[in-house]
Structures are given as C-alpha cells and as structure tokens.
Amino acid sequence: MMNEQTQISYRERMTRVLCYIEDHLDEPISLDELADVACFSPYHFHRVFRGMVGETVKGYVRRLRLERAAAELTNAKASITTVALNSGYESHEAFIRAFRAQFGCAPSEYRHRTRAQRVERMLDSIFDPSSSTKYRKSILGDAIVEARIEKLQKSKVAFVRHLGPYDQCGVAWEKLCRWAGPKGLLTKDTVFLGICHDDPEITSPEKIRYDASVVVSDNVQPENEVGVTEIGGAEFAVATHLGPYDKLKDSYAEMAGRWIPSQGRECASSPSLEFYRNSPEDTPPEKLVTDIYIPLK
C-alpha cells in the first residue's frame, strides 16, 4: 500500500497529465508521451491512469472531445460535419455513433433539443409573472449588473483540482489555502478564482473538473497536489454576478444564450473563469460578487 508521500507524488504527476491532455486535446496524444509527462514507466502508465482516473486514456480523451462537441453544437453555428472533424473523427458516421453512445441521441437531435431548451429559458426570463410590467427591460438577467467584452491579460495561477459537483469544491479550496498561507501568498490583494472546465448540463456530476486557484508570481512552482498553469491572453465576455453561487448557472445561461449572441460573438471551447471579489466566509449569499469570464472565439 502506497504511503502518504507516494500518494501525493502520484496525484501531482497525474495532475500534470490531465492538464497536458486538456492543453493538447486537438492533437494526437500517445501513451508514451503522457507517460513521459508523468515520469511513469510507459509499460505501466495505462494501468496507473485507469486506476487513478477511473477511465482509460482513450476513453477519457474521447469523452472530453465529445463533451466539447456537445457544447459546440449548443453554442456555435458550425455544421455537424465540422464539429465531427474538430473532435478528431474522420467520418460523419463515426462521430454520430460515438455521440449517440455518449449522450443517447444523434447530434442533430441534441442540437435541436438544447436550443429549444435555451429558447424556453430565454422566454421564461423575459416573461416574469412576479413583475408588475411582466417584462424585463434589459437583455441581462436580474443578477447581472454589468456585461462587457474584455481582453484578459495572461496571469500565472496555482491551483488544486476538484473532481465532482461545483458546490462540493470546498476541500480543494482548503488544500490550496493550507499550501498558500505559509508561503505568504494569501494577502488582502490576493486574487481568488475558479477555473470551470465543464458544463454541468453536459458532464456527469462526478466527472466535473474545477480548479480552485489563486494568481501567483512567475517564480511560484508546482508542489505536491498544487499545480501551476496560465490563464488569459484572449477575449472574454465578462458579467458581474450579484448573489449566491448556486445562481451562477442562470447568469451563465443569460450570457451564453442571449448577451453574447447579441454582440455577434460565439463562446469558445475553453474553460470559463470565475473571479470571486468577496468571500462567503464573511459575506451574506445575496451580497456575493463574482465576475464571470466566458471565453470568446
């Protein structure tokens, strides 16, 4: 049985592998390549990966590509054939078979269904029975006080990966803060953010990826379960959300389904960011302030 230090080392190395896969999802990825990233024996790497992640490497990569394809079908105007090619499938038919196996329906049916659901949510948000006017005057939801397009400058962040529902990420934050505190990285100016890799309406709850993160200087290095990555360097649609975290999904829907299209833009297939401007430890839920950054094409 592995001792604690060995377990930490394995998790650190596997985190590097998962980040590498996410950064190279459009490229062919070999087992030898991943084993080298993790400093594992190529002979045993696949077994280690399956034992720790719960999926084969091939299955994990295929799932991420199909989940990204599902998001593209929902948000983009690209043809199903284009989405299939972007997902690494050489034929339309192979993509349809794989997509049906993952989501239980054909891509065309999925696109029609999810767009219909988006329109229904949009109409629900416009028609508000509790309002005396019954109509909202703004294209933005009640929780959003500002929306804009902004180029986010590149920043280095340290993070701890959480797997599971977004509302259960507290353990990851505790681990990150225990690591950052003694290093003097937690000050009144520290920027706290979450890197949200998955859409909970697409990805199974137990497989959702979330990185509890803080912005750090360039000299900070990964250590044990704490990884280091870079964010920014692209344009984002930004919304300032007021209120509890469990209502963030409504602001995401407003932005992705209404505001971003109204600007003639489309969502990109990369993680969204959440910058937490105050803390739930000393702030009532209704007064929490979160800046949502949705990447744009």
pLDDT in tens, 61-94: 989 999 889 888 887 677 888 888 888 887 888 8
Q: Is the pTM here over 0.85, yes or no?
A: no
Residues 177 and 36 in one domain: no
CATH code at position 57: 1.10.10.60
The domain in which residue 229 lies consists of 144-295
Q: Say if residue 140 is exposed, middle or buried (CB neighbours under 10 Å; 0-12, 13-18, 19+).
A: buried
Q: 230: part of which helix (H) or strand (E)?
A: strand 227-231
Residues 275 and 170 in one domain: yes
Residues 157 and 266 in one domain: yes
Q: Is residue 123 part of a domain?
A: no
Which pLDDT band holds residue 183 (cuts at 50, 70, 90)?
A: very high
Q: Is residue 287 part of a domain?
A: yes
pLDDT at 146 > cutoff 70? yes
The pLDDT of residue 2 is 52
The pLDDT of residue 130 is 43
pLDDT at 132 > cutoff 70? no
Q: Is residue 203 part of a domain?
A: yes
Residues 150 and 254 in one domain: yes
Residues 238 and 148 in one domain: yes
Residues 165 and 93 in one domain: no
Q: Is residue 118 part of a domain?
A: no
Residues 256 and 182 in one domain: yes
pLDDT at 151 > cutoff 90? yes
Residues 152 and 277 in one domain: yes
Terminal-residue alpha carbon distance, the chain: 47
Residues 159 and 78 in one domain: no
Q: Is residue 117 part of a domain?
A: no
Residues 91 and 173 in one domain: no
Distances (CA, A) of 264 to 82, 138, 149, 162, 257: 20, 17, 11, 34, 12
Q: Is 143 helix (H, G, I), strand (E, B) or coil?
A: coil
Q: Is residue 63 part of a domain?
A: yes
- The domain boundary, picked from 60, 89, 110, lies at 110
Residues 150 and 286 in one domain: yes
Q: Is residue 130 part of a domain?
A: no
β-partners of residue 144 are 241
Q: 292: part of which helix (H) or strand (E)?
A: strand 289-295
Q: Is residue 176 part of a domain?
A: yes
Residue of 17, 22, 4, 20 whose CA lies nearest to 49:
17
Q: How many domains does the chain divide into? A: 2
Which pLDDT band holds residue 10 (cuts at 50, 70, 90)?
A: confident
- The domain boundary, picked from 90, 110, 130, lies at 110
DSSP state of 257: I
Which pLDDT band holds residue 120 (cuts at 50, 70, 90)?
A: low
Instruction: Kindly state the percentage of the chain with pLDDT values over 70.
Output: 89
Instruction: Look at strands 192-196 and 227-231 and give their pairing.
Output: unpaired
The pLDDT of residue 143 is 72
CATH code at position 177: 3.20.80.10
